[in-house]
Amino acid sequence: MKVKLPLVLMLCSLCQYGLRAAPQGDDLYTACTQLKAGEIITRKLSPDEPGCMGGQVGGIIEAPVDKVWEVLSDYNRFHEYMPRMPVTFIVSKQALDAIAKKTDWKRTAFEKMLMPYRIDAMESDTVYFYNVVDMPVPVRDRWYLLEMVRDPLSCRVEWKMVTGNMKVNSGSWQLMLHPESPNRTVAVYTTVSNSGIPIPGFIQEYGLGRSLPDIIRGVRKRAGELMMMAVDTVRYPENPGGGE
């Protein structure tokens, strides 16, 4: 039996990095709760949109849901812990009026236009998030503005692309309490995209399979840092005596 090389590479990657492929049809949340420490589970999706590819990745974060939600809310710092994201920041809704004045934006001009609209904190639970994804040479970096709709009660975020040099970019985050511990979070990330790049589908699928787990790892790392900072604050308060 002949096996295509990209499939072999993908399977090797899963073994090397402690990944599992989720059985199709299984509930990903249930599958995630059965993972061992450090494991990550992935699933290929078949989007309805022509030319799109999709995937899901899930894992357990060793932190409470509210702490992981804090990580996913810190958009201006995504570039510090999310993979291949050298530029990340949020802008006010007023930027949409300026964006609508053109339909053929180029990255440099687009970023320059956005600068006056950059904000330090979210204005509401609808967030406008600019992001650049670092692509390997000779492929141009992908850049886009997303409209992200957040539901703090259910700890869910959904997004769609406003504009950028991709054709489609949509997805979601879902955080859920682990059934065995309030200090563990099940995190599931879903993405559907069409990069607009003329690259064979099997190569794009291979790249997606390699990049998705790094997103869970990035969130794990940042959540762990926040947990350590919280412990240090309790252990070593800045002003333990309460004096001047």
The tens digit of pLDDT for each residue in 164-194 reads 999 999 999 999 999 999 999 999 999 999 9
Helices (H), 86-160: 95-99, 107-114
- Whether residue 216 lies inside any domain: the answer is yes
Ramachandran assignment for 25, one of left (phi > 0), alpha (psi -120 to 50 degrees), beta (any other): left
CA 3 to chain centre: 31
Q: Does residue 243 lie within any of the structural domains?
A: no
Asked whether residue 112 is domain-assigned, the answer is yes
Is residue 119 over pLDDT 90? yes
Assess if residue 107 is contained within a domain.
yes
User: Is the per-residue pLDDT at 140 higher than 90?
Assistant: no
Domain range for 121 is: 5-235
Domain contains 192: yes
Residue 212 lies inside a defined structural domain of this protein: yes
**Domain count across the chain:** 1
CATH assignment of the domain containing 21: 3.30.530.20
| Interior angle at CA 135, CA 84 and CA 217, nearest 5 | 25
The SS3 of residue 153 is coil
- 198's CB contacts (< 8 A; 6+ apart) are none
Distant-in-sequence, close-in-space partners of 74: CB < 8 Å, separation ≥ 6: 222
**β-sheet bridge partners, residue 74:** none
Q: Note the pTM of the prediction, 2 decimals.
A: 0.83
pLDDT bracket for residue 221 (50, 70, 90): very high
**Model pLDDT, residue 164:** 96
Of residues 167, 227, 164, 188, the one with CA closest to residue 32: 188
H/E stretch holding 205: helix 201-235
Residue 15's pLDDT is what?
37
* Residue entry with tokens 């859920």: 176
User: Where are the extended beta strands (E) located within the chain?
Assistant: 19-21, 40-45, 53-61, 87-91, 118-119, 126-133, 142-151, 156-164, 168-178, 181-194
Determine, yes or no, domain membership for 242.
no
**Per-residue pLDDT reduced to its tens digit, 196-216:** 877 666 666 666 677 899 999
Q: Is residue 241 part of a domain?
A: no
